[in-house]
Amino acid sequence: MSLLEDPVALLEDLVRIDSVNPDLVPGAAGETTIADFTAAWLEQRGFTITRLEAVPGRPSIVAVAAGTGQGKALMFNGHLDTVTLAGFDGEPLEPRVEDGRMYGRGTFDMKAGIAAMMVAAAAAASQPHAGDIIVALVADEEFASAGTEEVLRHFTADAAIVSEPTHEDIVISHRGFVWFDVTIHGTAAHGSRPDLGIDAIAKAGKFLTGLDDLSRSLPQGAAHEMLGTGSIHASLIRGGEELSSYPASCTVSLERRTVPGENSSTVEAELRKVLDDIASSDPDFSYTVTEILERHAFEVSAEEPIVQALEAAAAAVTGKPTTVRGEAFWTDASLMLEAGIPGLLFGVDGGGAHAATEWVELDSVIRVAHALATTVSNFCR
């Protein structure tokens, strides 16, 4: 399908808009300006715009090109927010083109994907289509995914494409994660009274050793076909009040990356096994386990119609078979699947997500836009 717009020119406009997530950088710009820009761009091309803003200053935009009826609806999803501008090598908000690449904050993650999906949706919407074409441009993916959660309370579709950068591969599975606090309890006492105190920090050392043993054992377990095995690490540790006192508690915050078949319940059982083994040989060892957040692993079949449609479209654009694989990081595709919308990830080639130098291959932006336009046209016809 022919594109009516230039996705590279649109990408330049998007990069110039500061959309740093204020939950990552207090006082940062947030998504308001870029939401205004994308909403106006899509409205000018015939889309009906819904602005969702449960949290003031953190809008998400849903643009719909309604179909004639009896067709399948497809939802594009992309996040408007970026990580910090601090530490970027060069001017982060001034796109620089050099040797076929564009440099700037968000070029790779994921304003190139947004530009490609917007141009693709506009091209497909300009032709007769039976199913709805939905473009969800969401806030807050880089922190808590509040934007996609809000969108899913109001909209649904038969399938979804999340244009996170995938180097033009089709991603049909990715890991999830669970965060836990493990608090080891001691007894506060003056530092001169070892007969009264129980050192929670020292006791936590036993747990950290057990956690390290667990991390070494996980790769030896059953592996997922695309994702391998999960992992675990200690992320934060907090304990004690002052140098002259025995600490009453020590909290280890940890992250467990999960694969399909693993969840917060299986992870908690792993942790309690480690902790109970310690407690069985140490009568002064006691603990509390608290779940903080869970995001499920994601997996759809390679036989899903949307996977088949995009695989054919991408191969037609590139002239070669497209790699279908899994990915290590978590995305909003998991939330969409939980809401009953099967999907996949497909996006541009480039590099430097969250790094000091971030770039995208410009030819890749054009290829991805063409592949997305063909996919949505065929899927929603």
Q: Which residues make Cβ contacts (< 8 Å) with residue 221, sequence separation at least 6?
A: 229
Check whether residue 184 and residue 265 sit in a common domain: yes
* Average pLDDT rounded to a whole number, residues 37-51: 98
Non-local (6+) Cβ contacts of 205 within 8 A are none
DSSP 8-class letter at 322:
P
Domain assignment present for 245 = yes
Same domain, 85 and 19: yes
Q: Look up the CATH number of the domain holding residue 250.
A: 3.30.70.360
Asked whether residue 50 is domain-assigned, the answer is yes
pLDDT at 220: 96
Dihedral sign, CA of 196, 201, 205, 210?
Answer: positive
The pTM is what? 0.93
| Rounded CA separation 357/379 (Å) | 36
Q: Give the pLDDT score at 2.
A: 82
Both 162 and 68 in one domain: the answer is yes
371's tokens: 């592949």
Average pLDDT over residues 267-275: 98
Mean pLDDT of 90-117: 98
19 plus 134 within the same structural domain = yes
Q: How far is CA 83 from CA 12, 203, 260, in A?
A: 18, 37, 28
Mean pLDDT (the chain) is 97
| Chain segment 191-201, per-residue pLDDT in tens | 999 999 999 99
Which of 253, 274, 295 is the endpoint of a domain? 295
Domain boundary among 249, 279, 295: 295
Query: Do 163 and 181 reside in the same domain of the chain?
Result: no
The full DSSP string for 196-224 is T-B-HHHHHHHHHHHHHHHHHHGGGS--B
Q: Residue 251: give the domain boundaries.
A: 176-295
Q: Does 1 fall in a domain? A: no
Reported as a single tens digit per residue, the pLDDT across 11-42 is 999 999 999 999 999 999 999 999 999 999 99
Last residue of a domain, one of 295, 322, 350: 295
pLDDT digits (tens, 9 = 90+) for 139-150: 999 999 999 999
2 in any annotated domain? no
Residue 40 lies in a domain: yes
Q: Which whole number is the average pLDDT over 120-124? A: 98
Let me know if residue 46 belongs to a domain: yes
Shared domain check, 168 and 185:
no
Peptide bond into 118 cis (omega under 30): no
DSSP letters along 234-271, please?
Answer: EEEEEE-S-TTEE-SEEEEEEEEEE-TT--HHHHHHHH
Long-range contacts of 215-218 (CB under 8 A, 24+ apart): none
97 shares its domain with 245: no
Statement to judge: residues 345 and 272 lie in one domain: no
Task: Specify the number of domains making up the chain.
Answer: 2
CATH number (domain holding residue 22): 3.40.630.10
In this structure, the answer to whether residues 311 and 254 fall within a common structural domain is: no
Helices (H), the chain: 7-15, 32-43, 112-125, 146-152, 200-217, 264-281, 305-318, 333-338, 362-379
The string of pLDDT tens digits covering residues 272-302 is 999 999 999 999 999 999 999 999 999 999 9
69 in the same domain as 151: yes
221 and 254 inside one domain: yes
| Dihedral, CA of residue 191, residue 195, residue 197 and residue 203, to nearest 10 | 110
237 and 303, same domain (yes or no):
no
Is 1 a residue whose pLDDT tops 80? no
For residues 128 and 68, is the Cβ–Cβ distance under 8 A? Answer: yes
